[in-house]
Amino acid sequence: SYAKGSKAGGFVGAQSTGGQDAFEFEGETSQSLELGTKLTLLDGQATLNIAAYTSKFEDLQVSGFNAATNAFITTNAASAKSQGVEVEGNWRVNSSVSVSGSLAYNDATYDSYPTAPCIWKNGVPPAANCVEDIGGTTLPRAPKWSGAFNVNIDHPLENGLRVLADATVRGRSGTYLEENYSPSSYQDSFSKVDLRLGLAAADDSWTLALIGRNLTNEWTASHSFGTPFIAGSQTYVVDPGRVVSIQLGLRY
């Protein structure tokens, strides 16, 4: 498949210190090419999907925290590219057990970004009002590897009930969460474990389950930026920690 996309430009309402040229950002365009296959294997017991893709972005819109204005400012990078491979599969082992998994590799980099604010290098923060071309740098919040593995059990009991179990391990490699690539914004690689155990009626009229999310209580963040007005500190958008809940479902 081949696709073209676009995103409209706009204005930076928080911009108060720059000139008129910094008040407006341009529209973003993209071109994407994907080649893949969907396979049915083992006499229908298994499926395997494989896709390779490449996407080219022009005038990529980048939003980053600007310490001078204590606001998030959107600008345009000249160009960027994202390319990789995704694989996902499912295998129905028997009438009660199925196994599935996915693995993705993504290489996302700036091809050119000549007006980028300077980034951290070798643990040294950038100078104020510094600008440089960071072409060749991996995009923030774009881990190279991500994946998941799942085991699902739905087994009938002799008393007419069904026992349900679902276990998932998911994870991704490390990535920076801030546009200036501050070491404080680096999210290490991690894996999380989810588990669901339950009972259900044979006709699904009711379901009772115990659910655990992030059972190993991994501390992770999805975004990070320098804390406004507090030099040297960092703010994080934190993902949920361990969550345990009980689920009751009724169907009429």
What's the CATH code of the domain at 127?
2.40.170.20
Total domains in the chain come to: 1
Beta pairing partners, 104: 86, 146
Cα 218 to its chain centre, rounded Å, is 16
Query: Does residue 6 have a pLDDT over 90?
Result: yes
pLDDT in tens, 134-180: 999 999 999 999 999 999 999 999 888 999 999 999 999 999 999 98
Amino acid at 169: V
- The residue among 118 and 220 whose pLDDT is bigger is 220
CA distance 115 to 132: 6
Domain that holds residue 48: 2-250
CA distance 216 to 218: 6
pLDDT in tens, 62-104: 987 766 566 778 888 999 999 999 999 999 999 999 999 999 9
Give me 131's structure tokens: 């600008």
| pTM, entire model | 0.87
